[in-house]
């Protein structure tokens, strides 16, 4: 039974799989958005390194710094009253050495109040995952399309190597990961991985058979400029709403109809 008087814990998050209840996850990067998502009942908030693209306007996630993640995760963690908050480990914050990975992940937990970190990798990061878990740091793994490896992978492509992906997922679980994100994987393969693992799988472009789903909130709300991935469903068109509101404001200021009498003081 989930206690909604406090944030969801890692064991409670894992137990949702055994309970057969689908898990909801969305990205968050600031206090007001995180509070709105939390109050809406989202199970987990991911402070993703996608902030490099949707907040900072970069072409990929590689330029995001550890300090950026800490800055945004601190705001999100302060807003979350019910959701489990997970923060991404940015590029080269965990790949250089295991001690550096522990130090950097430890900084995130100490300085932000989030409950877990996420890192990209499976079998290749098993030793790091094991060391982080051994240090008391809950780890969510991430296999399939790995945006931090975009240059090595030759772009954002569907990943179809079933043997490698199954090996990555099982290695991450054996190393102690409490959950795994499956990104851009054919549905049937994602289902097989989900059935094989005892820990929750969180899909993004991996079909409906995963234990849960995650989307980038800016994509889901229609705030993303340019290409929108095939796996995204837009539940709102905030780009248009914001644009219309800003245009009306500009027109009223220029027409001197704003501020009106009721917006001033005597």
Would you please indicate which residues are annotated as catalytic (active-site) residues?
Answer: 183
CB within 8 A of 166, min separation 6: which ones?
Answer: 189, 192, 193, 196
Tell me, rounded to whole angstroms, the distance of Cα 86 from its chain centroid.
Answer: 7
- Of 181, 225, 200, nearest to 23 (Cα)? 200
Tell me, rounded to whole angstroms, the distance of Cα 172 from its chain centroid.
Answer: 18
Provide the 10 A C-beta neighbour count for residue 178: 20
Bridge partners of 24, per DSSP, are: 213
CA-based R_g, the chain, Å: 20
Classify burial at 61, counting beta carbons within 10 Å of its beta carbon; exposed 0-12, middle 13-18, buried 19 or more: buried
CA distances from 232 to 132, 171, 216 (A): 32, 28, 8
């Amino acid at each position: 039974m989930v206690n909604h008087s406090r944030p969801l814990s890692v064991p409670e998050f894992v137990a949702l799989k055994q309970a057969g209840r689908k898990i909801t996850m969305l990205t968050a990067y600031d206090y007001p958005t995180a509070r709105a998502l939390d109050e809406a009942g989202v199970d987990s908030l991911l402070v993703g390194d996608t902030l490099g693209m949707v907040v900072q306007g970069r072409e990929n996630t590689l330029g995001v710094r550890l300090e950026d993640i800490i800055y945004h995760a601190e705001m999100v963690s302060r807003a979350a009253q019910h959701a489990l908050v997970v923060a991404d480990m940015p590029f080269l914050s965990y790949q250089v050495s295991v001690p550096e990975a522990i130090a950097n992940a430890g900084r995130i937990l100490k300085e932000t109040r989030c409950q877990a970190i996420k890192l990209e990798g499976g079998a290749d990061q098993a030793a790091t995952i094991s060391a982080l878990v051994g240090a008391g740091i809950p780890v969510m793994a991430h296999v399939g399309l790995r945006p931090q490896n975009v240059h090595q992978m030759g772009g954002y492509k569907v990943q179809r190597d079933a043997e490698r992906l199954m090996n990555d997922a099982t290695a991450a679980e054996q190393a102690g990961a409490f959950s795994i994100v499956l990104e851009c994987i054919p549905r049937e393969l994602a289902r097989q991985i989900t059935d094989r693992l005892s820990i929750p799988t969180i899909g993004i472009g991996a079909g409906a058979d995963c234990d849960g789903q995650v989307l980038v909130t800016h994509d889901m709300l229609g705030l993303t400029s340019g290409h929108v991935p095939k796996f995204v469903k837009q539940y709102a068109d905030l780009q248009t709403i914001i644009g219309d509101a800003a245009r009306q404001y500009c027109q009223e200021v220029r027409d001197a109809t704003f501020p009106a009498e009721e917006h001033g003081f005597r």
